[in-house]
């Protein structure tokens, strides 16, 4: 049976609904199905029986303990995916999903009752498809040492991968975001979630940045010789701006590659810019004076976005993917996107929408007047060789890219 490895828990105070759901899960082949008629009983079951893979929970039970159950069980790491069988207002549902995200839970809202085999099978398949990706990092992080990452930087095992930014109207590549991947000789391709904590702890973020820049600028030179000018966007931590020599180091690297500042963009996460000392502001100004673009990344997820836009010399806004994820069903997300687009136009700043994953999301964004975006619907991060092939295929429309 495909779901034999899944352990499930049903939390529902309606005996008939609970019985139907338990029966359906067993018919689908779940290894073990537990049941409780309130949140307190569900917590006691988990305490005695251990964690579950999938929990189906009604948040509108009479005892109102459903949310408390998710908070306590999720915080203790006893839940995987949680299917919410209550019909809640969009804003309340979005807040519940945010709570889940903070707890590391995958929460799926508005699972219609009574459950049907087809819809439940889809959710179980979704859990199984996500499970390996969620478990992989924890098994690998503990083995990453400072010596390993230093060696990886020296041997250029930390490689740039490139995720294009697109013109949503024409499909033209407007530039690429440079992302780090570790091509580990024995562990395969590792994502930043695995090695960035070690780099940050050991103070090696500058070494990573300049290693990626060196490799990416080489690729930019290859593209230029083929008639394609390519803008490279690098992620920059706010702490790196405290180095008074940062702008000078970047200027020297550009000179060594015969590149210009206008061919670079630096993306800074706004949540890291709560306090901006004078030296950081000086670096930002110097980068702008060199012609570099400055992008405020993950816009809208922190508490100081508007203040940062007024104080710092950004000329691009990257709106966080959270707002696109619910664009079709959540009026508040559409309002935030529309307001950000209007604000960007008023401030003379380009707006890039992150996290576009479906054709429906793209069509909605186009109707709202969005012209620039990034996400898996267009392209996943790719190697430099794949990017060059992609750009050559799109020529001559790719020629003269900024």
Active-site residues, by number, are 354
Q: Give the distance from CA 262 to its chain's centroid.
A: 27
Residues near 297 by beta carbon (within 8 Å), at least 6 away in sequence: 235, 267, 268, 269, 270, 318
Give yes or no for a cis peptide into 396 (omega within 30° of 0): yes
Query: 81: which strand partners?
Result: 54, 106
Q: Residue 236 phi/psi, 5° resolution?
A: -130, 125
């Amino acid at each position: 049976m495909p779901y034999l490895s899944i352990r499930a828990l049903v939390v529902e105070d309606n005996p008939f609904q609970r019985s139907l759901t338990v029966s359906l899960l067993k018919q689908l082949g779940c290894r073990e199905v537990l049941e409780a008629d309130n949140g307190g009983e569900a917590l006691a079951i988990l305490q005695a029986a251990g964690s579950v893979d999938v929990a189906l929970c009604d948040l509108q039970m009479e005892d109102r303990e459903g949310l408390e159950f998710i908070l306590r069980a999720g915080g203790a790491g006893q839940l995987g995916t949680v299917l919410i069988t209550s019909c809640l207002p969009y804003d309340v549902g979005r807040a519940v999903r945010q709570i889940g995200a903070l707890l590391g839970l995958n929460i799926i809202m508005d699972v219609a009752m009574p459950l049907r085999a087809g819809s439940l099978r889809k959710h179980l398949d979704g859990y199984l498809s996500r499970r390996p990706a969620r478990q992989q990092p924890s098994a690998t992080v503990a083995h990453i040492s400072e010596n390993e990452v230093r060696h990886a930087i020296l041997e250029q095992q930390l490689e740039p991968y490139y995720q294009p930014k697109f013109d949503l109207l024409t499909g033209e590549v407007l530039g690429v975001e440079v992302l780090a991947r570790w091509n580990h000789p024995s562990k395969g391709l590792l994502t930043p979630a695995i090695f960035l904590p070690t780099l940050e702890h050991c103070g090696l973020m500058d070494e990573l940045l300049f290693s990626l820049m060196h490799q990416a600028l080489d690729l930019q030179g290859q593209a230029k010789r083929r008639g394609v000018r390519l803008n490279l966007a690098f992620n920059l931590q706010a702490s790196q701006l405290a180095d008074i020599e940062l702008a000078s180091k970047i200027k020297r690297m550009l000179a060594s590659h015969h590149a210009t500042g206008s061919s670079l963009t630096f993306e800074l996460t706004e949540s890291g810019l709560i306090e901006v000392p004078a030296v950081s502001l000086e670096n930002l100004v110097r980068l702008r004076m060199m012609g570099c673009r400055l992008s405020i990344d993950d816009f809208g997820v922190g508490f100081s976005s508007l203040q940062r836009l007024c104080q710092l010399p950004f000329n691009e806004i990257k709106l966080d993917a959270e707002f696109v994820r619910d664009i079709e069903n959540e009026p508040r997300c559409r309002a935030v996107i529309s307001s950000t687009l209007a604000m960007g136009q008023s401030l003379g700043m380009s707006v890039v929408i992150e996290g576009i994953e479906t054709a429906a999301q793209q069509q909605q964004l186009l109707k709202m007047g969005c012209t620039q975006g990034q996400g898996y619907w267009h392209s996943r991060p790719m190697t430099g060789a794949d990017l060059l092939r992609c750009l050559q295929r799109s020529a001559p429309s790719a020629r003269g890219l900024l």
